[in-house]
Amino acid sequence: MNFLKAIIIDLDGTLLNDNKEVSKKDVQTLHDLGKKDIIRIIATGRSLYSVNEVLSKDFPIDYLIFDAGAGIINFKTKEIAKSYSINYEDVIAITNKLLNLRLDFQVRNKIPESHKYIFKKFSKNNSDFDRINTIYKNHCKEFSAYTELKEATRFICISQNDKIVKTIKTEFNDFGIIRATSPIDKKSVWMEIYPKGVNKGSSLKWLCNKLNINLKETVGLGNDYNDIDFLDICEKSYVVENSPKILKDKYHVTVNNNESPLYSLISENTF
Residue 101 lies in a domain: yes
What digits encode the pLDDT tens for the residues 223-242?
A: 999 999 999 999 999 999 99
User: Does one domain contain both 79 and 202?
Assistant: yes
Return the pLDDT at 270.
83
Residue type, 235: E
The range of the structural domain enclosing residue 100 comes to 88-194
Chain-centre distance for alpha carbon 1? 27
Of the residues 194, 225, 255, the one at which a domain ends: 194
Residues 128 and 74 in one domain: no
User: Last residue of some domain: 143, 174, 194?
Assistant: 194
Residue type for 102, please?
A: R
Whether omega before 112 lies within 30 degrees of 0, making that bond cis, reads yes
Q: What is the largest CA-CA distance in the chain?
A: 57
Please state, in angstroms and as integers, the Cα–Cα distance from residue 253 to each residue in 27, 242, 264, following that order.
Answer: 20, 9, 11
Q: Which residues pair with 158 in a beta bridge?
A: 190
- Evaluate whether residue 125 is within a structural domain: yes
Q: Which helix (H) or strand (E) holds 266?
A: helix 261-268
Q: Give yes or no: residues 186 and 174 share one domain.
A: yes
The phi and psi torsions of 248 (rounded to 5 degrees) equal: -70, -25
Structural domain contains residue 1: no
* pTM for the whole structure: 0.95
**pLDDT tens digits for range 174-223:** 999 999 999 888 899 999 999 999 999 999 999 999 999 999 999 999 99
Average confidence score pLDDT of the chain: 96
Quote the number of domains for the chain. 2
pLDDT digits 0-9 by tens, 36-90:
999 999 999 999 999 999 999 999 999 999 999 999 999 999 999 999 999 999 9
Judge if 211 and 236 occupy the same domain.
Answer: yes
Same domain, 213 and 124: no
Long-range contacts of 162-167 (CB under 8 A, 24+ apart): 162/189, 164/103, 164/189, 164/191, 165/189, 165/191, 167/101, 167/103
pLDDT tens-place string over residues 94-139: 999 999 999 999 999 999 999 999 999 999 999 999 999 999 999 9
